[in-house]
Structure 1
């Protein structure tokens, strides 16, 4: 049975938002590897938003301001180390996951 984490196994982004975004992608993927695909896209969105908030400590909201997430800091960081771009998740990451969900559901 496919899981939400399976939808996040590959990344094909030409550009990430900030340095914390790929780390958050990995953390969310790992957190969702045992979560079966929900029955609807709305339920998927709720799970994604709850997981985002659970890991970052911030609700996802449309904002150009980066979100600092201490748990995402890496030793080899840079200026945007540990920062997450809400707009990347709203405009790119979540729509990508939702598209993969739709494709996966159409196979059944």
Structure 2
């Protein structure tokens, strides 16, 4: 049985801002135990909804390039707690969708 949380392993080597890895892990925990939906479109909708729920931001409508979230501020550094929405739109969510596509076609 394929699980949505399997898509999150391994973690990317590059992030946009310091809050991004914490969002990645929070999303993985949020979908833990969910069976991978049968279509790529359904997976993509689920991942976007999960991001919206975890970060409290709608990627489709938010125009800011990044947002600050206290719950993702771990450690020091200028970007601690900042989530780079552009990276999530352009790289991180597409990576997860690509992984789902591979799982569903293989």
Provide TM-score, normalisation by structure 1: 0.88
> Which residue of structure 1 lines up, in the alignment, with residue 9 of structure 2?
9
> Which residue of structure 1 lines up, in the alignment, with residue 44 of structure 2?
45
1:28-71 Cα deviation digits (max 9, x unpaired): 11111211111211111111111111111111146452111121
Deviates more, 1:21-30 or 1:65-74: 65-74
CA distance in 2, matches of 1:58, 1:64: 10
Q: Which runs of 5+ in 2 are unaligned?
A: none
RMSD of aligned residue pairs (Cα, Å) = 1.4
Provide TM-score, normalisation by structure 2: 0.90
User: C-alpha displacement at 1:92, in angstroms?
Assistant: 0.7
Other structure's SS at 2:34 match? coil
Structure 2 contact 4–35 (Cα < 8 Å) conserved: yes
Q: Which runs of 5+ in 1 are unaligned?
A: none
Structure 1 contact 52–58 (Cα < 8 Å) conserved: yes
Q: Which runs of 4+ in 1 moved over 6 A?
A: none
In the alignment of these two chains, the number of paired residues is 105
